[in-house]
């Protein structure tokens, strides 16, 4: 189904749009496009959706813009403030202070907000894509359970391990591991030792060491709570990890093909090693935060730059197109920018022309964010990681 043009007046026919991936990027696109009259179907492989999967995120300008477009600007104002940035030495002393207030909002609150804006029947869970057949003016999608769909446009918003990416870029579609991983925890405020909390809470704290970096900050609770006592402490410890050791870790965890290990998937002995290392390598405050997390998780750091974002009627969005290192804090903002640009491009012009305009606008943006992350993480990369 293609837009119809009648004389000087342009009458846009509603497009059937499939969206692979139901995280915030897919929801951004789904809500904006549905509000413009298109028929959207979100296909999320998780059977329970993605609620309670996130932590905190920095409110970037693109996030504020998209919240304003859907009438939920108040969500950008619901978060936890850090009044300053501090850098700790290994003994736990404050080396520097930077009075730079910053707010962290809840990823879960953002996800829930957009999820509620999309009618339930348009968000399919347990919908794993098995096959994508690409034609000049349509795309056929077959799910693992046998269901089939025909769309006028398919959006790949399926993140780092995107299956849609292979349809747009047939070669070189695997993300590049950059030689280090983030060990992470999300600790209930009440579980943090008081002495560590006194130094870390209300601050954005950092520690820098040879080949590593630790940081931490408060984020809202899992339901968006921001009251004292109901928040969570998010800590991240970037550490060099050669590719062969990462492979051994994933194999030992029986997750050899995974791109990360979630809470509860890290073998017990690896958590014990992590605690031992934290006590000897981190400031006492961060070591206490690591010890307070019973189920730490591991996020290997990857990057990817897509040479293009469109192939006929298939388009990439968010991390499916560009994976930037998390130091940029721009992953959600990048997805929001992609979604707003795509929705705007599809308004008032033929589909193929709109997709070309979208790609022209967002390719340089994606490359710039990836390059920025590469510069920020340069000191952490293994020498052979490129």
Q: What is the pLDDT of residue 3?
A: 40
pLDDT in tens, the chain (386 residues): 344 333 333 445 799 999 999 999 999 999 999 999 999 999 999 887 665 555 678 888 999 999 999 999 888 888 899 999 999 999 999 999 999 898 888 888 889 899 999 999 999 999 999 999 999 999 999 999 999 999 999 999 999 999 999 999 987 788 999 999 999 999 999 999 999 999 999 999 999 999 999 999 999 887 788 899 999 999 999 999 999 999 999 998 888 788 888 888 888 899 999 999 999 999 999 999 999 999 999 999 999 999 999 999 999 999 999 999 999 999 999 999 999 999 999 998 899 999 999 999 999 999 999 999 999 998 887 554 33
Q: Say how many CA atoms lie within 13 Å of 214 toward its Cβ.
A: 25
CA-based nearest residue to 155, from 322, 369, 321: 321
Tokens of 88: 């700790």
CA-based nearest residue to 313, from 140, 131, 129: 140
**In terms of C-beta density within 10 A (0-12 exposed, 13-18 middle, 19 or more buried), how is residue 197 classed?**
buried
Q: What is the pLDDT of residue 78?
A: 82
Same fold, 4-54+109-175+304-385 and 74-105+176-301: no
Q: What is the pLDDT of residue 310?
A: 97
Q: What is the pLDDT of residue 105?
A: 85
**Domain residue ranges of the chain, discontinuous segments joined by +:** 4-54+109-175+304-385, 74-105+176-301
User: 4-54+109-175+304-385: what CATH class?
Assistant: alpha beta
What one-character DSSP code corresponds to residue 46?
A: S
What one-character DSSP code corresponds to residue 339?
A: H
Domain 74-105+176-301 bears CATH identifier 3.40.50.720 = no
Backbone angles phi, psi at 187, to 5 degrees: -100, 135
Q: Say how many CA atoms lie within 13 Å of 220 toward its Cβ.
A: 24
**What are the C-alpha distances in Å from 241 to residues 4, 212, 237, 269, 386?**
54, 10, 12, 17, 14
Tokens of 363: 């390719």
């Amino acid at each position: 189904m293609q837009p119809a043009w009648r004389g000087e007046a342009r009458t846009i026919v509603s497009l059937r749009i499939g969206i692979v991936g139901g995280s915030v990027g897919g929801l951004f696109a789904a809500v904006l496009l549905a509000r413009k009259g298109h028929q959207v179907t979100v296909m999320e492989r998780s059977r329970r959706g993605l609620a309670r999967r996130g932590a905190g995120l920095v409110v970037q300008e693109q996030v504020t813009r998209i919240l304003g477009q859907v009438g939920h600007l108040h969500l950008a104002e619901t978060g936890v403030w850090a009044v300053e940035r501090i850098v700790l030495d290994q003994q736990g002393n404050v080396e520097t202070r930077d009075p730079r207030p910053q707010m962290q909002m809840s990823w879960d609150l953002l996800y829930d907000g957009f999820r509620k804006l999309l009618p339930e029947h348009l968000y399919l869970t347990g919908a794993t894509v098995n096959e994508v057949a690409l034609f000049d003016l349509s795309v056929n999608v077959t799910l693992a359970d046998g269901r089939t769909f025909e769309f006028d446009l398919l959006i790949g918003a399926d993140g780092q391990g995107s299956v849609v990416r292979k349809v747009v870029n047939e070669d070189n579609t695997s993300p590049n591991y950059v030689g280090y991983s983030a060990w992470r925890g999300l600790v209930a405020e009440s579980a943090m030792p008081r002495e560590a909390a006194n130094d870390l809470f209300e601050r954005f704290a950092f520690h820098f060491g040879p080949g590593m970096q630790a940081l931490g900050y408060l984020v809202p609770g899992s339901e968006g709570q921001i009251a004292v006592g109901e928040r969570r402490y998010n800590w991240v410890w970037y550490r060099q990890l050669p590719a062969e050791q990462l492979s051994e870790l994933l194999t030992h965890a029986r997750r050899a093909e995974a791109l990360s290990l979630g809470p509860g998937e890290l073998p017990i002995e690896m958590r014990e090693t992590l605690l031992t290392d934290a006590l000897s390598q981190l400031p006492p405050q961060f070591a206490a935060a690591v010890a307070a997390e019973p189920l730490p998780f591991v996020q290997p750091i990857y990057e990817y730059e897509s040479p293009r974002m469109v192939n006929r009627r298939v388009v990439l969005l968010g991390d499916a197109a560009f994976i930037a290192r998390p130091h940029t804090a721009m992953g959600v903002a990048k997805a929001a920018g992609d979604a707003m640009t795509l929705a705007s491009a599809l308004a008032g012009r033929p589909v193929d022309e709109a997709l070309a305009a979208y790609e022209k606008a967002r390719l340089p943006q994606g490359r710039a964010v990836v390059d920025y992350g590469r510069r920020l993480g340069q000191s952490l990369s293994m020498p052979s990681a490129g």
